[in-house]
Amino acid sequence: MTLKGKLVLVGAGKMGGAMLEGWLDEGTPAEQVVVLDPAPSDAMARLAAERGLALNPPVEEIADPEIVLIAVKPQIMDKVLPGLLPLARHKPVFLSVAAGRTIASFEAVLGADVPIVRAMPNTPAAVGRGITVICPNAHVTEAQAALAESLLSAVGEVGRVDDEGLMDAVTGVSGSGPAYVFYLTECLARAGMDEGLPEELATKLARATVAGAGELMRRSGEPAGTLRENVTSPNGTTAAGLGVLMADDGLKPLVARTVAAAARRSRELAE
């Protein structure tokens, strides 16, 4: 990632902090980073002091902002955005990772001609295994979109859509998806306990199985269906279990309803 101006991070919580550490680890010069956070954690204050990051300087004094990444919670966005207006006059690209906040909601405050990228990351970004989908408005140049992708790639993979309406489906699949996997792990452990396994062992088996299967899928690059077929012997134990999951009333329609509910809620939050 090559920056010509300043990278301004607004909100240095779990998501913003994870991205910041990724940028610094990849060699982003600390002097090009500015952190704005209304209540920085002790860990962030220490990091800023150790690495020489500018922490909460007056917004009006930030010179040459090139990209402004907004990582505050959606609930306080309306309080934070007006304070960023002094940056908007420089026409940086604003990159938001706030769920449910539309491009129009940012344009209404920052200006209709300001370059804005809406992004939907997910929590595995905290360990560098996230996936983020971006959607730029009409004022974002290809160079700015590429810069946004480069920033977000520090914490995982990046995809792109040009139709903002698809961001609700993205939220339903990948944004909320980690929680579905965590719950699946809980259910798998509980099922093992119901079959007589001690809780500690059942939990260990479930966690290792889900994590290991995910890593195998990531490394192999094979379609999930192919991997499933590879470990399913005819008339074996796995086939017996899949017979339940793949029934007409099994996992497929349940997951479809789950994603639809999350996408619907994403649309409601944007209203």
- In our burial notation (b when 16+ CB lie closer than 10 A, e otherwise), range 149-173 reads bbbbbbbbebeebeeeeebbbbbbb
* Residue 79 is assigned to a ligand binding site: no
Residue 73 marked in a binding site: yes
Sign for the pseudo-dihedral over CA of 235, 186, 97, 258: positive
CA distance 22 to 13: 14
In sign, the C-alpha dihedral spanning 242, 247, 251, 255 is positive
Residue with tokens 């195998």: 216
Check whether 93 is labelled as a binding-site residue.
Answer: no
Residue with tokens 């329609």: 253
**Long-range contacts of range 139-146, CB-CB < 8 Å, 24 or more positions apart?**
139/113, 139/114, 139/115, 140/93, 140/115, 140/116, 141/115, 144/67, 144/93, 144/115, 144/117, 145/117
Terminal alpha carbon distance of the chain: 35
Q: Binding site membership for NADP(+): which residues?
A: 71-74
Q: Binding site membership: which residues?
A: 71-74
